Amino acid sequence: MHAALGEGKTGVVTGGASGIGLEIARRLVGLGMKVAIADLGGARLDAAAAELEAPAPGRVLAVETDIGDDAAVLAMRDRVLARFGAVEAVFANAGMQPGSSIFDAEQNWRRIIDVNMWGVIRTAQAFAPGMIASARPGLIVNTGSKQGITTPPGDPAYNVSKSGVKTFTEALQHDLRKATGDRVEARLFIPGFVFTPLTSRGRTEKPAGAWTPSQVVDFLFDALSSDDFYILCPDNEVDRATDEKRILWAAMDITENRQPLSRWHGAYDDAFRDWLKK
């Protein structure tokens, strides 16, 4: 188990009222930790807080937070520190995916980036300085996406936001390593296809290809026991070998001077199929 996790320590989970975030919070409670969940207010947050509090009276704090608002993130941090005194682990998991188009016909680009990218950045900026200043091990896990790496067409605002999360988390880990010698560290969590309220799109039953939040959080916590920075999760449709080939192909668009997003261009279909077979 990672040194920042365990009985008596404190964890913060943004987007903690449902899906992957709620499952992470459940695991932290099960480890005997004090847990703060931050999410938009309402019945879902209330229900999550009640569920988590039942086996852990006095160890759970639910904070109504718009993670896309800078002041709200700082206010959430202050409430957590006032209640629990210190934070060892932060899971910046809050996100949204309402769909987007390149010329922003939906007028939601700014909100998507405020939540998905700035929410992660501001959460780390709010908590990391205190973690660095302490003498305790610390962990910041930022939820990215494969779409932020291979950037498939169809949802450009989401892809941009998650590409930013990848770049920020890499830079964060580099600076934390220089500042603390890995006593405080960052990890990039890259789920596969997971059936959650974010991805359900009106479906009530889990698609066969998707993992459950429990499965993907099992994978996450197993990886946190190792030194993996990039926690790249498979699912029931795509194994790690295929993910690796897709990621390498995307990077080779630059080194091979291909057209961008060549995987979906049409002219490279045969070459991509051959690449997957190698």
Give the dihedral sign, CA 109/122/244/235.
negative
Identify the pLDDT of residue 200: 59
Q: Which residue in 158, 195, 211, 249 is the catalytic one?
A: 158
3-class secondary-structure state, position 92: strand
Long-range contacts of 252-261 (CB under 8 A, 24+ apart): 261/151, 261/152, 261/153
For residue 70, give the amino acid letter. D
Q: At 60, is the secondary structure helix, strand, or coil? A: strand
Establish whether 230 is a catalytic residue: no
Q: 250 with 147: CB under 8 angstroms?
A: no
Q: Report the distance separating Cα 184 and Cα 133, nearest Å.
A: 10
- Reduced to 3 states (helix: H, G, I; strand: E, B; else coil), residue 241 is helix
Separation CA 80–CA 105 (nearest Å): 38
Contacts of 2 (CB under 8 A, 6+ apart): 89, 137, 139, 224, 225
Q: What is the pLDDT along the chain (278 residues), one digit of tens a residue?
A: 899 999 999 999 999 999 999 999 999 999 999 999 999 999 999 999 999 999 999 999 999 999 999 999 999 999 999 999 999 999 999 999 999 999 999 999 999 999 999 999 999 999 999 999 998 999 999 999 999 999 999 999 999 999 999 999 999 999 999 999 999 999 999 999 998 776 656 666 778 889 999 999 999 999 999 999 999 999 999 999 999 999 999 999 999 999 999 999 999 999 999 999 98
Euclidean distance between CA atoms 91 and 14, whole angstroms: 6
Distance CA 33, CA 25 (A): 9
Contact 201, 218 (CB under 8 A): no
What is residue 248's predicted lDDT score, i.e. its pLDDT?
A: 98
